[in-house]
Amino acid sequence: MPIASKASRTQVWMDSLGEWSWPGQGAVAAEVLPPPWVPAFPPRLEPAASPATPLAGGRARRVLITTLLCGLLAVSVALSLQGRLGVAHLLGISTAPPPDRALSLQSTLASEAAPLPALSSVSHDSAGSSIDTASYSSVALHHEGSFYVYLPPGYAETSRHYPVLYLLHGNSQPATAFLELGLQEELDQLIARHLIPPMIAVMIQGGPGSNNWRNIDGMHYESYVLEVQELIDRMLPSIPARAARAIAGDSMGGYGAMNVALGNPYRFGTVESWLGFFDGLGGELHSDRPIISRLGLHAFVYGGESDHIADPSENAPFAAVLRAEGARAESAVYAGGHTMETLAAHLGSMLAFAGRALREGERAGTPQTTTVSDVSSKTTAAG
């Protein structure tokens, strides 16, 4: 089902937190379409050519042994360069999924080789949860990246592993906008009432302007999201499985969450768009159908009835397209506009939806992704 486009328009965005430009027609139309997907496969291992004449005796055995050792070395090198592909895949006897779109081989190697950032405490609340933050030198951004994490009550006293919710903010918002909405209090209450499992929430700090959390025009914000996800799987006791990862965002972050989830379908099992939009994503969603049909996808999209920036009438049709491609998708149009008040009013419902989906992933307990982070050693960082 085609997704309608919009005319370009600019409006003060979300209580004057920044200027929001709609990526519609005209000069910015090219930014709406997803970037080309160029997977970073390791060097292809071609079979050695057969010798023109047979080799005799010991020399033949030595050459055969040398060839086998070289082959094993090549496989080992390929695996070290691209941990997401197994030996069986390299030998052509597996149907393992291809690498995700956004994170290049160079970025993957650099993120794994770099020292892990240290978490520093920001606050604790009476329920026992805490907010920590970390910054690091981002390979994807070529400058500093940072994020905030919500660590649930009892985090420091247990050895359990947690599902993770990743959150992408809107245009020119700080990552702490989710805390201003009441994220910590809502998660505390939902966990205390056993409506959702204890989880980690990661609020990624993006850049200024309408980058839409995409790789475009020298900006690599989609790669940055995946870079943070891999760092979290190395730093914290997460459950390194697709079904135990969710991604959500508001406005521009709603587009970004859907774009990242569809562009990297082996990473996230749940996606939500709050007051977001979906321009140019219909084709990519259709191409994901075999993966979604096999692995599933939980999705919730909603708009505001009086939203003059992100058209609320797009949510139900896009949810229908998601269901047609195999996802378990829901949509809603709530009273309110493109404001922080609308987001705050429905934050609990959105966290509950993600939490229920993540509980299913936590119970499954089996990794369903082939990213580098899933085979990395994990270091628990105390809050």
pLDDT value for 44: 24
Please say whether the beta carbons of 241 and 362 come within 8 A: no
For residue 217, the model assigns a pLDDT of 82
Rounded mean pLDDT for each run of 10 residues along the chain, 383 residues in total = 38 33 30 29 28 39 49 46 34 41 49 80 95 96 96 92 97 95 98 97 92 89 96 96 97 97 97 96 92 96 97 96 96 97 97 96 54 31 31
Say what the pLDDT of residue 118 is. 93
pLDDT value of residue 112: 64
Picking from 305, 298, 309, the residue whose alpha carbon sits closest to that of residue 252 is 309
pLDDT at 2: 44
According to the model, what pLDDT value does residue 15 have?
A: 35
pLDDT at 190: 98
The predicted pLDDT at position 189 comes to 97
Q: What is the pLDDT of residue 317?
A: 96
Q: Compute the distance between CA of residue 357 and CA of residue 13 in angstroms, rounded to an integer.
A: 30
Q: Return left, alpha or beta for 374; rule: phi > 0 is left, psi -120 to 50 is alpha, else beta.
A: alpha
Distances, alpha carbon 132 to alpha carbons 121, 124, 168, 235, 258, in Å: 4, 9, 17, 13, 26
Which pLDDT score is estimated for 56?
Answer: 38
The pLDDT value given to residue 172: 87
What is the model's pLDDT at position 250? 98
Q: pLDDT at position 359, please?
A: 94
